[in-house]
C-alpha cells in the first residue's frame, strides 16, 4: 500500500498490507470481492458511538450505472459489521 488515505502511511508490508480479488458469477449476476489484510495493529471498536475512523475496515465504491452519478459505498468494519451506505 503506497498511499494512505488517512493517518500515517504504512512503514512496510508487515505494518499494513492488503490484496484484493474480484470475480463475477453470471448465473447470479453477482460481483464477488475478497480482501486479505495483514495489519500489525488491529483496531476494533465495540463502542456504540464508533465511527469509520475509529476502527479498521474496508470500503468499496461502485458506479453501478456507469455514469458517475450512481456511486454506491459498501463498508465492512473490523468487527464484521456490514454497512451499506447511502448512494
* pLDDT digit string, tens, across residues 37-59: 887 877 787 778 877 777 888 88
Quick one: pLDDT at residue 45?
79
Quick one: pLDDT at residue 81?
61
Q: pLDDT means per 10 residues in the chain (87 residues)?
A: 68 80 95 87 79 80 88 80 54
* C-beta of residue 42 within 8 angstroms of C-beta of residue 78: yes
Quick one: pLDDT at residue 12?
77
Predicted structure pTM score: 0.66
Tell me the three cell numbers of residue 84. 451499506
DSSP letter, residue 1 = -
Quick one: pLDDT at residue 87?
44
Amino acid at each position: 500500500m503506497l498511499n494512505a488515505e488517512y493517518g500515517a502511511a504504512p512503514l512496510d508490508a508487515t505494518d499494513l498490507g492488503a490484496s484484493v480479488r474480484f470475480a463475477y458469477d453470471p448465473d447470479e449476476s453477482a460481483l464477488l470481492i475478497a480482501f486479505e489484510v495483514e495489519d500489525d495493529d488491529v483496531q476494533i471498536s465495540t463502542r456504540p458511538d464508533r465511527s469509520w475512523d475509529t476502527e479498521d475496515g474496508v470500503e468499496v465504491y461502485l458506479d453501478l450505472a456507469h455514469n458517475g452519478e450512481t456511486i454506491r459505498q459498501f463498508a465492512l468494519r473490523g468487527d464484521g459489521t456490514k454497512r451499506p451506505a447511502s448512494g
